[in-house]
């Protein structure tokens, strides 16, 4: 393994953006002063949004990309999808003298592609994001495999579940994993400032009528919720208190918007607009939305809370360059510029 890389104070760190989606992680790392040198995203609609905002079309399916063609970089960033890991049958494979363990168990999974590129390119650091359930999936065995496999490549491994609701007005818990090839580096997840964001801060002033629920859909949602209430279940729509935060925005929001509904005086509640969804994830209003409402809802539901990623990205950059406060970081706009106005 090559010696650990050292960085001069004026050197700009580089990163790659895997499973890039619409570029939320990229936006945050660029705000932290780093430079993106490669991106990959297979979904054609997400590619369209990414290209509209960053001026480049991401490479397609990561499984078809030879690591040799990826430029050298310092930080691997990936919000990889979590697919089930098969653990069963190790004893049987041992008895048959067949491959087993990590390499065998994860063939075909998308995390394996992250590991493949780490192994080939040996970056100085990695930054991974996933749903918080990853830590408990398959009674913790999936996460244990991920952690051990990265450590086996010679990296440290730090992780933490963090809720973005101090920065954006939604309950959004995610697990973040950070590690360094220099195992003498200690990484501390930073404290998250509480901006006390409220839903009312991300709402548009003039919303088209098409976002108001029809009588048919509103009656259906109310009846559905009542049916489950009688059964003692918690299923139902989420009518938002606009002075607080809301439920997690999901990729299924396009179906009926039921998890986050905005009350309206004298008429049925409405769903969020795509721009409001962008703001809910901390995207600036300059972020272009060149796709249909349906695709936009999916994209923002699958995305990251940008202000939270920015804080973590700054700490990763600072950890690699402890003596360097880059001009880009020093002059960056406050976090409230990410679509969430400061509380009065």
Please give the CATH architecture assigned to the domain spanning 199-300: Alpha-Beta Complex (3.90)
Whole-angstrom distance, CA of residue 341 vs CA of residue 343: 6
pLDDT at 194: 96
pLDDT digits (tens, 9 = 90+) for 170-207: 999 999 999 999 999 999 999 999 999 999 999 999 99
Asked if residue 42 has pLDDT above 50, the reply is yes
Give the CA radius of gyration of the chain: 21
Whole-angstrom distance, CA of residue 247 vs CA of residue 259: 7
Across residues 139-167, what is the average pLDDT?
95
Q: Environment class of residue 208 by beta-carbon count within 10 Å: exposed (0-12), middle (13-18) or buried (19+)?
A: exposed
Whole-angstrom distance, CA of residue 146 vs CA of residue 208: 46
Asked if residue 304 has pLDDT above 80, the reply is yes
pLDDT at 323: 67
84 versus 268: the higher-pLDDT residue is 268
pLDDT digits (tens, 9 = 90+) for 53-104: 999 999 999 999 999 999 999 999 999 876 443 323 333 334 445 433 334 4
pLDDT at 224: 85
Lowest mean pLDDT among 70-84, 102-116, 282-296: 102-116
Asked if residue 6 has pLDDT above 70, the reply is no
**What sign does the dihedral 3-109-106-141 (CA atoms) show?**
positive
Asked if residue 231 has pLDDT above 90, the reply is no
Q: What's this model's pTM, rounded to 2 decimal places?
A: 0.86
Across residues 163-173, what is the average pLDDT?
97
Lowest mean pLDDT among 97-111, 257-271, 310-324: 97-111
Pairing of β 14-18 and β 75-78: parallel
**What sign does the dihedral 308-240-211-264 (CA atoms) show?**
negative
Delimiting residues of CATH 3.40.50.150 domain(s) in the chain: 14-192+303-337
| Residue found by looking up tokens 């048919």 in the block | 216
Across residues 234-261, what is the average pLDDT?
90
Asked if residue 332 has pLDDT above 80, the reply is no
Pick the CATH number of 14-192+303-337 from 3.40.50.150, 3.30.70.1400, 3.40.50.1000, 3.40.50.300: 3.40.50.150
Asked if residue 327 has pLDDT above 60, the reply is no
331 versus 280: the higher-pLDDT residue is 280
**Active-site hit among 36, 77, 82, 246:** 82
Asked if residue 9 has pLDDT above 90, the reply is no
pLDDT at 10: 60
Delimiting residues of CATH 3.90.120.10 domain(s) in the chain: 199-300
| 82 catalytic residue (yes or no) | yes
84 versus 310: the higher-pLDDT residue is 310
pLDDT at 98: 47
107 versus 101: the higher-pLDDT residue is 107
pLDDT at 303: 96
């Amino acid at each position: 393994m090559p010696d650990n890389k050292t960085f001069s104070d004026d050197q700009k760190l580089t990163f790659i953006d895997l499973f890039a989606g619409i570029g939320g992680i990229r936006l945050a790392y660029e705000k932290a002063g780093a430079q993106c040198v490669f991106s990959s995203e297979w979904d054609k609609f997400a590619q369209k949004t990414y290209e509209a905002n960053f001026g480049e079309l991401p490479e397609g399916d990561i499984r078809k990309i030879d690591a040799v063609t990826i430029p050298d970089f310092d930080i691997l960033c990936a919000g990889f999808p979590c697919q089930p890991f098969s653990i069963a049958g190790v004893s049987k494979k041992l008895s048959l003298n067949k491959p087993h363990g990590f390499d065998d168990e994860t063939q075909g999974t998308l995390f394996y592609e992250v590991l493949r590129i780490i192994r080939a390119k040996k970056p100085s650091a990695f930054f991974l994001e996933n749903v918080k359930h990853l830590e408990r999936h398959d009674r913790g065995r999936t996460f244990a495999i991920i952690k051990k496999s990265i450590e086996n490549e010679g990296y440290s491994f730090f992780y933490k579940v963090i809720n973005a609701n101090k920065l954006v007005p939604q309950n959004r818990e995610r697990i973040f994993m950070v590690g360094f090839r220099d195992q003498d580096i200690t990484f501390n997840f930073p404290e998250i400032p509480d901006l006390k964001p409220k839903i009312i801060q991300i709402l548009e002033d003039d919303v088209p009528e098409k976002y108001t629920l029809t009588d048919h859909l509103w009656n259906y949602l109310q009846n559905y919720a009542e049916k489950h209430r009688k059964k003692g279940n918690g299923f139902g729509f989420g009518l938002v208190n606009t002075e607080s935060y809301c439920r997690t925005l999901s990729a299924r929001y396009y179906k009926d918007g039921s998890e986050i509904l905005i009350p309206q005086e004298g008429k049925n509640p409405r769903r969020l607009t795509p721009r409001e969804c962008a703001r809910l994830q901390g995207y600036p209003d300059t972020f272009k939305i060149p796709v249909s409402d349906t695709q936009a809802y999916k994209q923002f539901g699958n995305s990251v809370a940008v202000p939270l990623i920015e804080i973590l990205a700054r700490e990763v950059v600072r950890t690699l360059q402890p003596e360097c406060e880059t001009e880009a970081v020093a002059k960056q706009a406050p976090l409230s510029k990410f679509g969430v106005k400061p509380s009065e």
